Structure 1
Amino acid sequence: MTTTTTAATEAKVLSTKPLENKEAVWTKLVLKTYLDPNGTTRTWESAERRTRPSLSNIDGVGIVAILEHRPTGPEIVLQKQYRPPIDKIVIELPAGLVDEGETAEQAAVRELKEETGYVGQVVETTPVMWNDPGFCNTNLRMVHVSVDMSLPANQNLQPELEENEFIEVFHVRLADLWDECVRLEREGYAIDARIANLAEGIEIAKKFRL
């Protein structure tokens, strides 16, 4: 694994208090009234993002960036980033919100460059995926990006992090992704579900020789 930036390992939550909807910038809580399959009226508490672009059907993108031309096989780009909601450093894929007027593919290339410094080419984009539909309406598309490590642009990486972003970038052989997730979880890191699902899928494919 190779690190390119430094994570805020000393970050921690200092306090927690209720947040009124009128004070929230990024999210809001809503109460939905609905009919269940039996025709009974029920209610459901959920969260919604305030930031989805008006002409977009997604909030953001997750990026499966694969480093090509590696001596030991393809490697996937991962990140360590402190997340206050769970007060842990999380192992994640590069990701970000879609800007107004952007396609998922454009957002993925931009976010990958900003967060990691890598310049990549889009290979495939998934259908819309819902992160946690029992809790919130947040969704995304996963964008698969190929990173050609023979290109000069991918030799001297220059991430363009915002003032409040503290991201440590590293990469792992795809063949070792599951084992690395297990190891990192044992070390106290939280594993983002998108990475865990990808790693589990690779292991299932190995087992059943798909």
Structure 2
Amino acid sequence: MKQEFYEKTLTTNLIFNGKVIDLVVKDVELPDGNVSKREIVHHPGAVAIIALTKDNKILLVKQFRKPLEKTIIEIPAGKLEKGEDPLECAKRELEEETGYKAMNLKFVTSFYTSPGFADEIIHIYFTDDIEVGEVNFDDDEFLALMEVSLQEAEQLIEQQLIHDAKTVFAIQFLKLKGGLE
């Protein structure tokens, strides 16, 4: 069955093949028969973890984001390695970035970050069952761990210190979940 509004790929030109992303330009035939170009970023996907401490504090990390030229506060997250299971990646990333091990992770949802030009998908997990583990940042990663209440997280959104979709989603998820002080 043909998808509604399907765009048939006529040609694909690899522009850049990088460590994290690839960039291709495709010539496509539109549903009306005209031809157009699509610039597409291929990304292997990522995970993000909504983690709560035993006293209902949300684990966040503060880090500089070069594309934004500023430091923002986010939930722990990381890129999937080729062929890596998202659940295993979530366990690894939580401990690497926060020093906490998830004893139990529950899948929440997956979503595309920018479907107009990228195929990146983020898989979101939740845990309120964590124990102290060991921080192990990547060589080019500089982070600071924060533990904040739901109210403090909402203030960080208002101050635009939390300024990314996955973290805003996480805060809204926790608000809807209820039961946090």
Range class of TM-score, shorter chain: 0.7 to 0.9
| Paired residues of 2:104 and 2:129 also in contact (CA < 8 A) | no
Tell me if 1:83 matches 2:65: yes
2:142 to 152, 166, 185: 166
Q: Label 1:78 to 1:26 Cα distance change in 2 as closer, same or farther (>3 A).
A: same
Using structure 2 for the length normalisation, give the TM-score. 0.76
> Which residue is 2:37 aligned to?
43
Tell me if 1:30 matches 2:49: no
Identity within the alignment, %:
26
Higher strand share: 2
Whole-Å Cα distance in 1 between the matches of residues 106 and 172 of structure 2? Answer: 20
Whole-Å Cα distance in 2 between the matches of residues 168 and 196 of structure 1? Answer: 19
Whole-Å Cα distance in 1 between the matches of residues 75 and 157 of structure 2? Answer: 12
Using structure 1 for the length normalisation, give the TM-score. 0.67
> Which residue is 2:156 aligned to?
180
CA RMSD of aligned residues (A): 2.5
Deviation at 1:179, TM superposition (A): 2.0
Instruction: Give a deviation string over 1:80-130, Cα, whole Å, max 9, x none.
Output: 111111111121111112234532111111111111100113342134311
Aligned residues: 163
Structure 2: stretches of 5+ with no match in the other structure: 1-14
Alignment of 1:121-140 (within 5 A): 121-140=103-122
> Which residue is 2:8 aligned to?
none
> Which residue is 1:14 aligned to?
none
Structure 1: stretches of 5+ with no match in the other structure: 1-19, 53-58
